[in-house]
Structure 1
């Protein structure tokens, strides 16, 4: 009996500890922050597109410039340790767009630069991007093959 009571008391203490250290999240606030963060990133992208249009660039070139500038800004802000703070505040709103992918490529390279150019940056830069690049390359090759075979039919 004594052993059983001790076990129940320990379990109750553990449950209280877990409850005390588990962060409480406000779902509506998190969704609002993600919406605002993603919206601001998209507004910046739309601003870049509008500027390119005013500059006389066509739609495809404008889209390319928009992507390049957003990726550059994301990598730069990651290097300055600003983008992680934006992502922490905005959650999925900062991690879903193209800027989140650029952040996920740049962050491991920055984190492991102390291990050297090859074993640090060279190896770790593809931790997240590697599977995405591989999947994109294989799927695009497979779809191209299907399209090529379909062109003979």
Structure 2
């Protein structure tokens, strides 16, 4: 069997991906996660001394904590299998990636297992987030300095 015949056989036998359904599930679950995050933000604004601007950090921390709990109980994996990118793209997906690596390597010990592997998956997100934030801030500084904008 040559490569072309194999590819035709694989295409014929592979199940069709329901792209429309997958997009709908990702959209709905991602939207629900964001709605929960907005509700938590409103909770902090109404019940504590936060403004819309300052409620972001505790909201993100709370969402990551919720994803930590769901990951620890094995529920976030089921959500991810159902929703795909809808559960991976929000900040809860980042929390899931961090805690999953920690749980996976806990048998190797605290220092070498958890400590050495906790940011294995999320390390690139942190790295490129910091680098892109640096360049955005640099562009902002240049634009403000030359008077193009007044951010």
Q: What TM-score, normalized by structure 2, do the two folds share? A: 0.78
Question: Which sits farther off after the overlay, 112-121 or 68-77?
Answer: 112-121
Deviating above 6 A after TM superposition, structure 1's stretches of 4 or more consecutive aligned residues are none
Structure number with larger C-alpha Rg: 1
* 1:75 is aligned to 2:68: yes
1:136 to partner: Cα distance: 3.2
Q: What TM-score, normalized by structure 1, do the two folds share? A: 0.77
Distance 1:80 1:55 in 2: 29
Structure 1 pair 131–14 and aligned structure 2 pair: CA distance change class (3 A): closer
Distance 2:86 2:75 in 1: 15
Distance 2:133 2:41 in 1: 27
Match of 1:119 in 2: 112
- 5+ residue gaps in structure 1? 1-6
More helix by share: 1
Question: Which sits farther off after the overlay, 33-42 or 61-70?
Answer: 61-70
Match of 1:131 in 2: 124
Q: How does 1:1-153 map to 2 (within 5 A)?
A: 7=1, 16=9, 19-20=12-13, 22-56=14-48, 57-141=50-134, 147=141
Distance 1:145 1:14 in 2: 48
- 5+ residue gaps in structure 2? 146-151
Distance 1:18 1:144 in 2: 47
Please tell me the root mean square deviation across aligned C-alpha atoms, in Å. Answer: 2.8
Distance 1:103 1:76 in 2: 9
